[in-house]
């Protein structure tokens, strides 16, 4: 019998054990453990390979009044999941799906081939070392929904963090076997807001409760929107120093967009951004040295509106993976196996919601204050950056980190993977920074092996490998 079969037997045995250990009196047909069993996902359409792990997908309502309901996909670790940490992955936008990007082209095991019908197993999936929980947040993103349409027009950072906390508390009730697991949060791009904000509300919740505390150990973000001033300063500098824009445009960007909100810039700032993207030309700004996807002729105009959204790209090397996801997740048989509610499914599933993005209500210009607060709480905090991303480039991240004015614990150095430089790193008091060589905005997409090495070091709380350690192994 394969490990998948044993996992199913273990799940049933656990359910029976809990029922016989005092749960029977309160048991009902809507008991969370029964719902967990119902959320178990069978063989996916286009899955031509066997797997040794269980995975689940479904909904959790975070607001009963308006029925704000978030969609999740939980993928257990490859081996011995109950001994492994639990990691929540969030994509950004705001308005982009963690199912579309994080699971389907970055850190998840199920990636989609160019025929948009067939899946292949990602050999560098992060579920090799952890249990991964993907969440489409907020409502209006992916398969997440609300019965109150005005909810989709009133999303923002504050409510997203609050809803995500409610989601986690209810999810742990549905999956009580993971309640005591070491819990980490990770994400990229606009999740540079989501991740520290959620960490902050969890810390506050934990301080107010003793019985249902979440075992939060730390967080890690990549190419993350962090501080509008420093992020934009770094963007303009990276584009100019890389030879992408003219001297005049560089000066005007600094003049007209200085101290502007990234999510709600002025008209004059928007106009100079359009000039900048015209000068940059038909490249993928999320990955400077890889070919763009030419499947959509309106791509260039979209890039201006979506310059802080998650990118595309993959493997060896298909720049159009986003379009494969769109086709795959709009298939009725795919939605059925993932337990998508036919009464609440979107008319057309989208990787990113323009409605959510353009109606975003609150977006603080900096989350550096949250970093200061959480560093003092002793959380493990890592920040990584692909160094070929022009959207939130390595210069932006370094400016933001420098603004924290943290003492250096271990100076700047190269780190190695199989004896080759994988990037560079510096360790500060309370924060570790890692640059990933040759990666774009979606580090695990462009450099999946390096990303897994990074993830393993983060979970272990160890320094990035150096040449001597690799040579000795």
Q: Which is the catalytic residue, given 39, 227, 389, 417?
A: 389
Q: From residue 55, give the alpha-carbon distance in Å to each of 75, 76, 138, 337, 360.
A: 4, 6, 22, 11, 32
The C-alpha atoms of residue 284 and residue 389 are separated, in whole angstroms, by 9
Sign of the dihedral defined by the CA atoms of residues 183, 174, 310, 367, in that order? negative
Q: What is the DSSP letter of 387?
A: T
Residue 134 near residue 98, CB atoms below 8 Å: yes
Terminal-to-terminal C-alpha distance of the chain: 34
Closest CA to 416 of 432, 430, 434, 443: 434
- Any catalytic annotation for residue 242? no
- Any catalytic annotation for residue 344? no
Residue 7 near residue 54, CB atoms below 8 Å: yes
Beta pairing, strands 119-121 & 68-75: unpaired
The C-alpha atoms of residue 55 and residue 325 are separated, in whole angstroms, by 19
- Any catalytic annotation for residue 441? yes
Tokens 């959380």, residue located: 379
Residue 69 near residue 179, CB atoms below 8 Å: no
Preceding peptide of 5 cis, ω within 30°: no
Q: From residue 463, give the alpha-carbon distance in Å to each of 158, 400, 449.
A: 33, 21, 17
Q: What is the DSSP letter of 149?
A: G
DSSP string, 183-202: EEEEEETTHHHHHHHHHHHH
Sign of the dihedral defined by the CA atoms of residues 284, 289, 293, 297, in that order? positive
Q: Which is the catalytic residue, given 57, 97, 144, 189?
A: 189
CA angle, 324 then 327 then 330, to 5°: 140
Q: Which is the catalytic residue, given 111, 230, 441, 446?
A: 441
Beta bridge partners of 140: none
Q: What is the DSSP letter of 25?
A: G
According to DSSP H, which parts of 376-447 are helical?
Answer: 394-403, 443-446
Tokens 């063989």, residue located: 43
| CA Rg value for the chain | 22
Q: Tell me the catalytic residues.
A: 189, 389, 441
């Amino acid at each position: 019998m394969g490990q998948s079969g044993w996992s199913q037997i273990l799940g049933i045995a656990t359910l029976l054990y809990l029922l016989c250990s005092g749960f029977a009196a309160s048991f009902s047909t809507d008991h969370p453990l029964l719902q967990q069993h119902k959320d178990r996902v069978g063989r996916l359409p286009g899955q031509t390979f066997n797997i040794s792990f269980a995975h689940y997908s479904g909904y959790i309502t975070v607001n009963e009044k308006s029925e704000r309901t978030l969609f999740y996909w939980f993928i257990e670790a490859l081996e011995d999941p109950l001994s492994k940490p639990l990691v929540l992955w969030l994509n950004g936008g705001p308005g982009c799906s963690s199912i579309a990007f994080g699971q389907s082209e970055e850190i998840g095991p199920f990636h989609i081939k160019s025929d948009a019908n067939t899946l292949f197993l990602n050999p560098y999936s992060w579920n090799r070392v952890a249990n991964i929980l993907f969440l489409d947040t907020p409502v209006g993103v992916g398969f997440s929904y609300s019965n109150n349409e005005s909810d989709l027009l009133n999303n923002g950072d504050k409510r997203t963090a609050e809803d995500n906390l409610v989601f986690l508390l209810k999810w742990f009730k549905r999956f009580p076997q993971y309640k005591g697991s070491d819990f980490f949060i990770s994400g990229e791009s606009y999740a540079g807001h989501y991740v520290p904000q959620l960490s902050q509300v969890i810390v506050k919740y934990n301080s107010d409760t003793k019985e249902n505390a979440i075992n939060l150990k730390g967080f890690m973000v990549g190419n993350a929107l962090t501080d509008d001033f420093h992020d934009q300063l770094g963007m303009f500098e990276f584009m100019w120093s890389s030879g992408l824009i003219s001297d005049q445009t560089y000066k005007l960007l600094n003049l007209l967009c200085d101290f502007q909100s990234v999510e709600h810039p002025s008209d004059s700032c928007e106009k100079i951004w359009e000039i900048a993207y015209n000068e940059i030309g038909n490249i993928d700004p999320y990955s400077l040295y890889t070919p763009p996807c030419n499947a959509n002729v309106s791509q260039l105009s979209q890039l201006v509106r979506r310059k802080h959204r998650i990118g595309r790209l993959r493997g060896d090397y298909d720049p159009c993976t986003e379009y494969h996801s769109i086709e795959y997740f709009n298939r009725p048989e795919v939605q059925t196996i993932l337990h998508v509610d036919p009464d609440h499914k979107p008319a057309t599933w989208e990787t990113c919601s323009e409605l959510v993005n353009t109606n975003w209500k609150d977006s603080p210009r900096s989350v550096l204050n949250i970093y200061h607060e959480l560093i003092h709480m002793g959380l493990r905090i890592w920040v990584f950056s692909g160094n070929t991303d022009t959207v939130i480039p390595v210069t932006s991240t370094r400016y933001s980190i420098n603004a924290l004015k943290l003492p250096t614990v271990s100076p700047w150095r190269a780190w190695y993977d199989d004896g080759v430089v994988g990037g560079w790193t510096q360790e500060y008091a309370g924060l570790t920074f890692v640059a990933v060589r040759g990666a774009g905005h979606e580090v695990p997409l462009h450099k999946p092996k390096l990303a897994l090495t990074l993830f393993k070091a983060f979970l272990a709380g160890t320094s990035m490998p150096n040449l001597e350690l690799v040579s000795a192994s």
